[in-house]
Structure 1
Amino acid sequence: MNRRGFLVGLPLALSACTAQEVWAPQDVVTRAIYRKPGRKYITLYTMKNVDSDNGAHSSLLINASQRVLFDPAGSFEQKVMPERNDVLFGATPRLENFYVSFHARSTYYVVGQSVDVSPEVAEQALNLALVSGPVAQANCARVTSRILRQLPGFENIRQTWGPNRIQEDFAKLPDVTTLEYREDDADDKTLALAEISAILRGE
């Protein structure tokens, strides 16, 4: 992949779009769990259109007692990251980088905003993510903002359907660090997914 830097429509009625439940077995989840010692933090990822800057997707990386990606209504699927209703387990830094790379392409770039939190807040975020899915299509920002605004210190996050609005509110939190991830891959995520899968298989 050619990497530079390292690394919306109207809301749909919930009754009109049902999310598919995914529930990996406990032994698979247990084997995949990844813990990163040190500081606890939350990273908000916002996927944005290169031409319009419109937000297309929101997700969360949560480093708590374990490190997970909450990818509501997302399309990143890997056998090495078992899923339970939009929570992807085993979010090592390498797999997080693949996740970002999967979304960054010629037509979209990714903004990552990170903020340190207490272990208690990180764990609360993890627990909220674990019970928030599966998320219906077009509801990623709605559910992401709902999780964040329940956390102590994140009360300024507005309930919203718009990824850009969450990004704007998150930027107002104290001591936020922000990075942009851009790539010039073709505008076809299936190609990126196939390439990432091949790398993970060791091909």
Structure 2
Amino acid sequence: MIDPQEVALRVQQIRSEIARASSSPVAIIAVTKTFGHDAFRAAVIARCDAVGENYAQEVLAKVTEAPIDLPMHFIGAIQSNKVRQLAPYISLWQGVDRLSVISEIGKRAPGAEILLQVNTTNEDTKSGVAPAEVESLLAAGQDAGLVVRGLMTIGPTSGDIAEAEKAFLSLRSLADSLHLAECSMGMSD
């Protein structure tokens, strides 16, 4: 069982660290994959900004178990055939990296908000488009009537802080060059 007070304390510590590091707004997304509905309750108590899931079946199981009081982000690889089921529950689609997914989200959730996933580490195990392909994917998203809020990436699996910083700075620079305000940068562990 997850201790909501412990989660709230940790979120408060993270917010303090963020405030010391930067005055830019930062949203905390509680990624609840593989955890039960108690993780959602802990995220609400901790006043996280949203919850994130990366498996369609987990989203569907959790939203049918009890209402969710926070925006839901889908952060995993998106399968086109799951978009119809997920569309009513997702406030932000992170991880959009294919034209087929853009087309399906545009059809099932007109005006939906998305982040384009960029593979900033060139790791074969990571999803996302190459940085050189982002501009055409951005245009496709806009043409499909979607709101492209920004870009997202997953940091390197090596755990090397310098490599992670390089990947995240690369994403921020790319987003700035495309006049996209939002970046979602996380680690897989």
Q: Given the two structures, how large is their TM-score scaled by the length of structure 2?
A: 0.28
Q: Which has the higher strand share?
A: 1
Q: Which has the higher helix share?
A: 2
Q: Given the two structures, how large is their TM-score scaled by the length of structure 1?
A: 0.27
